[in-house]
Amino acid sequence: MHSIDSMPARIEAEPPFLHDLALVEEHAWTLLEGGASDRRSPCHALAIATLSDEGPQVRTVTLRQADRAAASLRFNADARAGLVRQLMADPRAGVHAYHAAQQTQIRLRARAVLHRDDAVALVTWERTNPSAKRCYLVPPPGSPSGAPASGLPSSLERRRPRDEESDAGFSHFCVVELKIESIDWLHVHAIHKRRARFDLRDGRWQGTWLTP
């Protein structure tokens, strides 16, 4: 919470979205699209929560694609990871991002569609650079390791794999597509706080202001 003393002496220019839900929707998608296209964006590393037998689980993933028209996000994952196993059992996911410079938190409710060994997985794999492909050559993520280790074959610890070496990883490769069902947007400026929610109904976003 900001005290009066910590508030800026000068009231800053009001962002245009303060009174306009359509601009809030635009703002939310601009942040997500920036997260996919700009690796320095705070929205490039998203937190994704899933349901497991042991309760909720949350971890970071790297946003690869944000498609506003399709209302979807994509990231890549190891098909053997807990994340993918949990999404196979229950496709519901929560996503969180906080863009500090924009003072904006975005929370999404989504359903995952998993692409393994299909056209989407193949095209994405072909576009993935060799050092990222190397991540799929390790033993199952989270499996016990007798010693401190990266899991990579020692011959690949310090160099990029050649195509024929990295292609063995494709059998573990999964593209996770998140079909977004709702967006909860929160702007936390000291003076002009705002919150809005957008639900996808029959292919159209229905927006409503909420009390922050």
Ligand X SMILES: Cc1cc2nc3c(=O)[nH]c(=O)nc-3n(C[C@H](O)[C@H](O)[C@H](O)COP(=O)(O)O)c2cc1C
Does residue 140 touch ligand X according to CB under 6 A?
no
Report residue 124 CA to chain centroid gap: 16
Does residue 89 touch ligand X according to CB under 6 A?
no
* Three-state secondary-structure class, residue 183: strand
Is 21 or 93 the residue whose CB approaches ligand X more closely? Answer: 93
Is 50 or 102 the residue whose CB approaches ligand X more closely? Answer: 50
Binding mask 144-173 for ligand X (x = CB under 6 A): ------------------------------
CA distances from 45 to 110, 171, 175 (A): 17, 24, 16
For 142, list phi and psi in degrees, rounded to 5.
Answer: 90, -5
As a whole number of angstroms, the distance between CA 53 and CA 70 comes to 31
Q: Which of 26, 30, 62, 160 binds ligand X (CB under 6 A)?
A: 62
- Name which of residues 100 to 139 contact ligand X (CB under 6 A): none
Helix (H) or strand (E) segment spanning residue 84: helix 82-89
Sign of CA dihedral 32, 76, 149, 157: negative
Does residue 78 touch ligand X according to CB under 6 A?
yes
Does residue 51 touch ligand X according to CB under 6 A?
no
Does residue 49 touch ligand X according to CB under 6 A?
no
Binding residues (CB under 6 A) for ligand X: these are: 45, 57, 59-62, 75-78, 81-83, 141-142
